[in-house]
Amino acid sequence: MHKKKKFPLILVVLILFCQSLVGITARAADDFSVNANAGFAIDADSGKVFFNQDGDTPKGIASITKTITAYLVLDAIKQQKISWDQEVPISEYAEQLSTTPELSNVTLVRDQKYTVKDLFEAMIIQSANAAAVALAELVAGNEHTFVDQMREQVKQWGITDATIINASGLSNVYLGAHRYPDTQENDENLMSARDVAIVAQHLIKDFPEVLETSKIAKKVFAPNTTHPEEMESWNLMVLDGSDHKDGVDGLKTGTTDLAGACFVGTIQKDGRRVITVILNALDEPNNSSARFVETNKLMDYCLTNWSQQEVTAAGQEPPSGQKTLKVTDGREENVPLVLGAPVKLWVRNDMDIKNLTIKTNLDHSLLDDSAIIAPVHKNEKIGTVSVQLAQDNLGYLQKDEGATTDLLTKTAVEKSNVFELIWKRITNLFA
């Protein structure tokens, strides 16, 4: 008696199992959330939004504020207004603030010499509040003027819903008479998670050297003074941190009673950089690493579920929308249109790359009554096309459109000769 072959049955089971895994992955990608008041994640290069959980509501950001302060300090260095080795005078206010027991700080003594580099490292690594104040006073003369500069900077980045009242991110409770004018005792800096991502993207793009500081886990502050101090980064995800994750090299933590435990993180892996934002990790009362736990989940979600894929090819007819253009006085009535370059989009695993939304933007300065006048050259640019996944409603950090490519003419169209033009005029009269 021959044994029955089990291979077909096994194959069917495997196929059904794989299909179920695909369904589970798709649901997992779509249903992902973080245990925080807000979460946000982007591709650092393009600004493509990978995740948005209440990311557009302003919330407390605490010491994440220092990313804006860092940007303005680095910009002042770039413009040669200050230098890394420049000595920074310590005001009485900064000195007093540096010794407030419950605040994150390094001790600043007025008769000691500190450089811009010393204080910048203290601000980023140790989240030293008084160091942020001292740098603000150096750059702008006083902290209030520096706050005005911070407000102007974020406004230039398109951020209009932020509340910025100091350079450190502290609650006004700790600032006393040094509060920004017309602010209340319990006021704090507020930004949305999207706003934080915008700041982080600009900081990393314009001044990538900040990552050389933000990736440091431990360092001695002001070793050549009479008050050197061991600094330890509050970012436990960097190398040698207790929540270390390969590829994480920034960026900034923040904690106040109002803001909760916050973290804007960044990871570089497999040739791509992701920026994540967690505002008020809700499990912080039970787990001091809650913000890093949620950041780890969010980073893994982005790196696992989102990939860049080519959705259209160069020379391809637009998948939808306008595919031809009327030609005036040409030997052909219409010219076919093609895409000038391949279009790559960030695609989540559960999205259909064939389901595209196409938006055509013609250059009407080249047209006459929606037609192009012959002669028409091959590969003549007549506008642009933006391409977006129909299932993707997350958009980009500061814009809604997808990737853009040139819209070109596929072929040349010669101009009709005088006899052909006359004949066309005659036939049009009787049409």
Q: Are 221 and 118 in contact (CB under 8 A)?
A: yes
What does the alpha-carbon distance between residue 194 and residue 394 come to, in Å, rounded to a whole number? Answer: 12
DSSP string, 48-98: BEEEEESTTS-EE-GGGGHHHHHHHHHHHHHTTSS-TT-B-PPPHHHHHHT
The pair of structure tokens assigned to 256 is: 């106040």
Among candidate residues 48, 59, 63, 214, the one labeled active-site is 63
Question: Which residues pair with residue 348 across a beta bridge?
Answer: 306
The closest alpha carbon to 264, from 192, 200, 170, belongs to 200
Q: Are 269 and 303 in contact (CB under 8 A)?
A: yes
Dmax over Cα atoms in the chain, in whole Å?
99
Q: Say which residues have a Cβ less than 8 Å from residue 386's Cβ, sequence separation at least 6.
A: 358, 359, 361, 401, 402, 403, 404
The closest alpha carbon to 82, from 114, 127, 115, belongs to 115
Confirm whether 242 is a catalytic residue: no
Among candidate residues 91, 98, 104, 127, the one labeled active-site is 127
Annotated binding residue at 252?
A: yes
Q: Say which residues have a Cβ less than 8 Å from residue 347's Cβ, sequence separation at least 6.
A: 306, 307, 308, 309, 311, 353, 389, 392
Confirm whether 63 is a catalytic residue: yes
What does the alpha-carbon distance between residue 27 and residue 38 come to, in Å, rounded to a whole number? Answer: 21
Sign of CA dihedral 90, 94, 96, 100: negative
What does the alpha-carbon distance between residue 281 and residue 259 come to, in Å, rounded to a whole number? Answer: 9
Among candidate residues 48, 66, 215, 245, the one labeled active-site is 66
217-226 contacts: CB < 8 A, separation 24 or more?
A: 217/241, 219/121, 219/125, 221/106, 221/118, 221/121, 221/122, 221/126, 221/128, 222/106, 222/112, 222/114, 222/118, 224/113, 225/109, 225/112, 225/113, 225/114, 226/109, 226/112
What are the angstrom distances between the C-alpha of 133 and each of 88, 178, 197, 240, 252? 11, 11, 23, 28, 17
Confirm whether 83 is a catalytic residue: no
Residues in binding site for substrate: 252
Which residues form the catalytic set? 63, 66, 127
